[in-house]
Amino acid sequence: MKQSVKKGEEVVVISGSAKGSRGKVLAVFPAQERVIVEGVNIRKYRERKSQKNPEGGTVEREAPIHISNVMLAGRFDAKKTAKKA
């Protein structure tokens, strides 16, 4: 399947609980057809103690969402203005 979204592009979530949210693509996983969008689908992960994080504990990070649930922001805005006209 051809991927229409690349790392660093701005996208809009078009379905799901985060519908309408905008953010920058942090990572793309073409094999799983998923993307990670900045500030969308935040989940809590438990981390073990390490040198980087000596106390461990819970950390909030973005989880991947399906690529079909996002659309490029420019395309979304163009579609939105076309409906109004």
Average pLDDT for 31-60:
92
Domain extents in the chain: 10-84
Give CA–CA dist 19/75, Å, rounded: 16
pLDDT confidence tier of residue 77, bands split at 50, 70 and 90: confident
Q: Residues 15-20: contacts with CB within 8 Å, 24+ apart?
A: 15/69, 16/65, 16/69, 18/65
Instruction: Report the candidate in 66, 10, 67 with the shortest Cα–Cα distance to residue 39.
Output: 10
User: For the whole model, what pTM was predicted?
Assistant: 0.81
Q: Specify the pLDDT at position 12.
A: 95
CA 14 to chain centre: 11
Tens-place pLDDT, residues 47-68: 999 998 888 899 899 999 999 9
Neighbour tally for 69: CB within 10 Å: 19
pLDDT confidence tier of residue 3, bands split at 50, 70 and 90: low
- H-helix or E-strand containing 27? strand 22-29
**Amino acid letter at 79?**
K
pLDDT confidence tier of residue 85, bands split at 50, 70 and 90: low
- CATH architecture, domain 10-84: Roll (2.30)
